[in-house]
Amino acid sequence: MIKKVAILANGGDVSGFNAVIRAIMKTAMTNGIECYGYIDGYRGLVENNYIRLDGNPLASGIIAKGGSIIGSSTNAIVFHYKVEHEDGSVTYEDLSDQCVRNVKEAGFDCIFTLGGDSTQKSARDLFLKGINVIGVPKTVDNDVACTEITFGYNTAVSVATEAIDRLHTTAETHHRIMVLEVMGRFAGWIALESAISGGADVALIPEIPYDINKAAEAIKKRIARNKKFSLVVVSEGAISKDGENETYAAEGVDAKAGISVKFGGIGPKVAKQLQDLTGLEARCTVLGYMQRGGTPTAYDRVLSTKYGAKAMELAMEEKFGVLTVIQNGKLSSVPLEEVIGNNKEIGAVQGGTVDSNVRLVTLDHELVRTARDIGICLGD
Ligand code: F6P
């Protein structure tokens, strides 16, 4: 019988973090289980910093609230943790044994890890060291393996859709090409789905290397039909057929410690090229962190609640080392081992990289077919 659990929210914030926290906490309360939250994700685990959530006013009225009431950390990887010394030097150390001790001393029967592929890889590695973990899949990119949808994704698509609707009016009024750069490092889910829902003409995603001339041709065909404007959505990680993408080095991040490369800059580049090739004026908007912030959609609130309640149910069944997932539209769970895929070695290449088992858009996916059917140019 489990008596005491803790939640750990990790990685970039998304809308829905709090709804998951609330659902785990409420299901714990229904079953007389104490519920705690680590502060700032894996950093809290290293520093043994946690608070009681059930009965805490901080955890009240949070379903509609963006961010995470218990914070979150990016690039806090307990197997390769950045330690800053008094003399100013920095080393990366494996603090996983310290984490295991902290969990055991606190008496937590289960740790819920809310996060993307990198977070779940550390969770799997901690599970192998004897900690009971249950993962819940988060990320706006929707690229966690083994699940059809992550929490936070639907809100990101809604924000992107609204942005396209608003850009539509400027495009039409000023006869312009309006380019929207959205998130998606390795997977183009946000770009593809928001292009469909926003009625865009071109969508460029990392999975389909694009030929800018093909995009320009599609726009020129529209001009020939007297449509003197076009809407283009491009994933931050889109790659041209020459293998070019737009990235820059993340400052102060050790390559093994997480996302050492940031994406950004593809939108302005594509806008300039399309302007030169079509003769239509082009502008670019980079949507950025708007996609991750603010209140979750009703869909994300329900999905997050289902994920959180399911995670607590699994804990009560003592089914650990798993990730809650949606498969064939149904709530279920899979071993974290399956989620981590090729990225097996403890402390080796982290998630959020091409080597991790991220879920990409497949070329035969129904969204790809739908986009092609209605004439959205995918740059190929
Ligand atoms: O993985 C989610 C994501 O939002 C990416 O789309 C984006 O490239 C990255 O995180 C940015 O994260 P950070 O908070 O480190 O800037």
Where do the domains of the chain lie, and which CATH numbers do they carry? 4-151+294-339 (3.40.50.450), 156-291+363-373 (3.40.50.460)
Say if ligand 1 is within 6 A of residue 15 CB. no
CA of 32 to the centre of ligand 1 (A): 37
Say if ligand 1 is within 6 A of residue 10 CB. no
Say if ligand 1 is within 6 A of residue 263 CB. yes
Place of tokens 């931050």: 236
Ligand 1: residue of 141, 246, 251 to mutate (most ligand atoms within 8 A of CB) is 141
* Residue ID of nearest Cα to ligand 1 atom 13: 12
Q: Which atom of ligand 1 is nearest to the CA of 116?
A: 1
CA of 318 to the centre of ligand 1 (A): 33
Judged against a pLDDT cut of 70, whether residue 51 lies above it is answered with: yes
- CA 198/CA 162 separation, integer angstroms: 7
Q: Which helix (H) or strand (E) holds 115?
A: strand 110-115
pLDDT of residue 249: 73
Judged against a pLDDT cut of 70, whether residue 256 lies above it is answered with: no
Judged against a pLDDT cut of 90, whether residue 349 lies above it is answered with: no
Q: Give residue 30's pLDDT band: very low, low, confident or very high (50, 70, 90).
A: very high
Task: Give catalytic residues, as residue numbers.
Answer: 141
Question: Mean pLDDT throughout 330-349?
Answer: 87
pLDDT of residue 189: 98
> Which of 43, 73, 235 has its CA nearest to residue 157?
235
Say if ligand 1 is within 6 A of residue 167 CB. no
Lowest mean pLDDT among 12-21, 73-82, 137-146, 284-293: 73-82
Judged against a pLDDT cut of 70, whether residue 252 lies above it is answered with: no
Q: Which atom of ligand 1 is nearest to the CA of 263?
A: 8
CA of 45 to the centre of ligand 1 (A): 22
Question: Residue type for 65, please?
Answer: K
- Helices of type H across the chain: 17-30, 42-47, 96-106, 117-128, 153-174, 189-198, 212-224, 266-278, 298-316, 336-340, 366-373
pLDDT of residue 260: 67
Question: Mean pLDDT throughout 162-185?
Answer: 97
pLDDT of residue 244: 85
Judged against a pLDDT cut of 90, whether residue 21 lies above it is answered with: yes
pLDDT of residue 353: 76
Note the pTM of the prediction, 2 decimals.
Answer: 0.96
Judged against a pLDDT cut of 80, whether residue 328 lies above it is answered with: yes
Q: Give residue 277's pLDDT band: very low, low, confident or very high (50, 70, 90).
A: very high
Say if ligand 1 is within 6 A of residue 12 CB. yes
Q: Calculate what percentage of the chain has a pLDDT beyond 70.
A: 97
CB atoms within 10 A of CB 341: 16
pLDDT of residue 344: 78
Q: Which residue has the higher pLDDT, 107 or 353?
A: 107
Say if ligand 1 is within 6 A of residue 266 CB. no
Say if ligand 1 is within 6 A of residue 183 CB. yes
Question: Mean pLDDT throughout 195-211?
Answer: 98
Q: What percent helix, strand, coil does the chain show, rounded to 5?
A: 40, 20, 40
> Per-residue pLDDT tens for 223-251?
999 999 999 999 999 999 998 888 887 76
Q: Give residue 262's pLDDT band: very low, low, confident or very high (50, 70, 90).
A: confident
- CA 331/CA 2 separation, integer angstroms: 22
The number of helix segments (H) and strand segments (E) in the chain equals: 11, 15
CA of 159 to the centre of ligand 1 (A): 16
Q: Which atom of ligand 1 is nearest to the CA of 143?
A: 1
Say if ligand 1 is within 6 A of residue 140 CB. yes
